[in-house]
């Protein structure tokens, strides 16, 4: 048992903490040099294709647009060719010199075909092989994987024929980027609007990551964020952890093709959009312990990034603690050490990495934790370093393994995450 005056050590925060929008989801080199055929069809969402092209090009991809005649009613080929630095293909023949546009060549050239926006009509034609425009003939000749981002009104999307056609395409290996819900051009609201370009690009990156990522086949447990230890219905003991480092690690693992089991304490940051990501949301250290220890046996590696509360109130009051008397004394009990428990469970074919956030004698404390918790690696950061630790978008860490240490410069948490993952799972 421990007795603690309420004003020291811990940050006691009211519920509903909100954080600013943080996560930049566009990452790394998975699309570098990739050749993408972007099919554009006749939907008002065609205007979003401009942003999509810019994002793809920013990621290092080469984009060749193939547009349907109806697509050209919504967006001009001049805009698209200016963005892609390539002539836009729409007709079977070049009107000016009569040369033939080879859909077969495009089918061989591409690393992926992405049709965004894709109308109900094009989905139907794809499902039934109605090759009456250049886009469908390109699709039918495509050797590379195909992704489709539907865009239509809610009733058209929900219609049984659209759904059956989508099912058929899925069965044939086409990847469907689920449309979003919200305000539609028809002024109706519902499911059918084309997914946002950032999410489409993420799905494309993930698609390649699954096929080519260095870590495909790995399943990695990550604990992240703070834990909240409840005092009464409106208060808890917590800490300043934002979850940014843990989410950056999760994102990096996904982008390298690994499945991630993310056990996440209270965190209001947007999560990576990925089917490789499985999230278990928890609040307390005990809940994090239960989730992490039950998920770890199915994983081949674990990264304990969470800032777990070391102490939890002995009791949680049923009613709000009233402001009475001169002092509030809290009785706290130690929480279970999740990293140490997993360190005990760890088999020879499993690896474990922990974090150590220190304020003094950092190296000594970190090395002691590495041994005590049976970790294979520990990431040390010190609150003495400006820009390192809680809340920042940057971090300055030292990667410590048994017998070696390697200090990295101050850099973005995204770059730190990549260095950690590449060192942890070489
Ligand atoms: N950790 C954990 N469960 C706890 C406490 C810590 O899994 N109850 C993990 C953290 O996620 C981190 C590592 O253990 O990977 C070290 O956490 P840290 O707070 O630095 O160390 P503690 O063991 O709590 O020791 P101290 O607070 O005395 O520095």
Q: What is the pLDDT of residues 253-309, one digit of tens each?
A: 998 999 999 999 999 998 877 888 999 999 999 999 999 999 999 999 999 999 999
Nearest CA to ligand 1 atom 27: 310
Distance 336 CA to ligand 1 centre (A): 10
Atom of ligand 1 nearest to the CA of 310: 8
Identical fold for domains 11-16+214-424 and 35-210, yes or no, is yes
Q: Is residue 308 within 6 Å of ligand 1 at its C-beta?
A: yes
CB count in 10 Å sphere of residue 263: 30
The whole-angstrom separation of Cα 131 and Cα 114 is 17
pLDDT tens digit sequence for 129-158: 999 999 999 999 999 999 999 999 999 999
Q: Is residue 354 within 6 Å of ligand 1 at its C-beta?
A: yes
**What is the rounded average pLDDT of the residues 70-90?**
95
Distance 337 CA to ligand 1 centre (A): 7
Q: Is residue 339 within 6 Å of ligand 1 at its C-beta?
A: yes
Q: Is the dihedral of CA 321, 322, 325, 326 positive or negative?
A: positive
Query: And the tokens for 129?
Result: 């092989």
Model confidence at 39: pLDDT above 80: yes
Helix axis angle, 120-128 relative to 160-171, nearest 10°? 50
Q: Is residue 338 within 6 Å of ligand 1 at its C-beta?
A: yes
pTM summary value: 0.76
CATH number of 11-16+214-424: 3.40.50.10300
pLDDT tens digit sequence for 293-330: 999 999 999 999 999 999 999 999 999 999 888 898 99
Q: Is the dihedral of CA 292, 300, 339, 259 positive or negative?
A: negative
Tell me the β-bridge partners of 235: 14, 232
Strand order, beta sheet including 219-224: 277-281, 259-264, 219-224, 301-304, 351-358, 377-382, 397-401, 404-407
Please give the pLDDT value at position 160. Answer: 97
Residues 6+ apart with CB under 8 A from 154: 184, 188, 189, 190, 191, 192
- Give the start-to-end residue ranges of the domains of the chain: 11-16+214-424, 35-210
Select from 355, 358, 361, 379 the residue to mutate for testing ligand 1; criterion: most ligand atoms less than 8 Å from CB. 355
Atom of ligand 1 nearest to the CA of 307: 11
Q: Is residue 310 within 6 Å of ligand 1 at its C-beta?
A: yes
CB count in 10 Å sphere of residue 46: 26
Distance 357 CA to ligand 1 centre (A): 8
Select from 309, 337, 358 the residue to mutate for testing ligand 1; criterion: most ligand atoms less than 8 Å from CB. 337
Distance 302 CA to ligand 1 centre (A): 14
**What is the rounded average pLDDT of the residues 170-195?**
87
Q: Is 374 an annotated catalytic residue?
A: no
Give the percent of the chain with pLDDT over 70.
Answer: 91
Q: Is residue 362 within 6 Å of ligand 1 at its C-beta?
A: no
Distance 9 CA to ligand 1 centre (A): 15
Q: Is residue 226 within 6 Å of ligand 1 at its C-beta?
A: no
What is the enclosing helix (H) or strand (E) of 355?
A: strand 351-358
Q: Which of 239, 300, 381, 395 is catalytic?
A: 239
Q: Does 3.40.50.1950 match the CATH number of domain 35-210? A: yes
Please give the pLDDT value at position 96. Answer: 66
Please give the pLDDT value at position 6. Answer: 34
Atom of ligand 1 nearest to the CA of 357: 20
Q: Is residue 357 within 6 Å of ligand 1 at its C-beta?
A: yes
């Amino acid at each position: 048992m421990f007795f603690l005056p309420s004003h020291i050590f811990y940050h006691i925060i009211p519920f509903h903490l909100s954080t600013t929008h943080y996560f930049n989801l566009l990452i790394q080199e998975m699309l570098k040099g990739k050749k993408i055929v972007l099919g554009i069809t006749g939907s008002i969402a065609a205007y979003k294709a401009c942003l999509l092209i810019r994002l793809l090009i920013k990621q290092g991809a080469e984009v060749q647009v193939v547009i349907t005649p109806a697509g050209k009613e919504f967006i001009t080929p001049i805009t698209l060719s200016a963005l892609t630095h390539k002539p836009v293909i729409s007709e079977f023949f070049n009107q000016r010199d009569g040369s033939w546009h080879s859909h077969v060549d495009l089918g061989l050239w591409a690393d992926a075909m992405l049709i965004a926006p894709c109308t109900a009509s094009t989905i139907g034609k794809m499902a039934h092989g109605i090759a009456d425009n250049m886009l469908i003939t390109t699709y039918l000749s495509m050797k590379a994987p195909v992704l489709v981002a539907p865009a239509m009104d809610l009733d058209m999307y929900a219609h049984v024929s659209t759904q059956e056609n989508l099912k058929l395409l899925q069965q044939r290996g086409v990847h469907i980027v689920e449309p979003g819900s919200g305000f539609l051009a028809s002024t109706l609201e519902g499911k059918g609007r084309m997914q946002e370009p950032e999410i489409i690009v993420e799905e494309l990156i993930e698609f390649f990551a699954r096929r080519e990522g260095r870590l495909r086949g790995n399943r990695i447990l990550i604990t992240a964020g703070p834990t909240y230890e409840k005092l009464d219905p409106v208060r808890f003991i917590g800490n300043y952890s934002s979850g940014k480092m843990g989410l950056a690690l999760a994102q990096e693992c996904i982008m390298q093709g690994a499945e991630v089991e993310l056990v996440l304490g209270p965190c209001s940051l947007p999560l990576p959009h990925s089917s490789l990501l499985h999230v278990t949301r928890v609040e307390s250290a005990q809940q994090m312990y239960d989730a992490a220890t039950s998920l770890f046996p199915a994983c081949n590696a674990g990264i304990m990034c969470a800032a777990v509360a070391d102490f939890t109130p002995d009791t949680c009051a049923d009613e709000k603690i009233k402001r009475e008397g001169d002092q509030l004394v809290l009785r706290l009990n130690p929480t279970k050490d999740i990293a140490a428990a997993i360190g005990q469970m760890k088999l020879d074919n499993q690896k474990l990495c922990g974090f150590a956030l220190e304020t003094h004698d950092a190296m000594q404390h970190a090395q002691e934790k590495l041994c005590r918790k049976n970790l294979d690696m520990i990431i040390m950061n010190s609150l003495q370093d400006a820009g390192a630790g809680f809340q920042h978008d940057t971090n300055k860490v030292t990667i410590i393994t048994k017998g070696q240490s390697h200090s990295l410069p101050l850099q973005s948490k995204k770059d730190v995450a990549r260095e950690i993952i590449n060192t942890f799972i070489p």
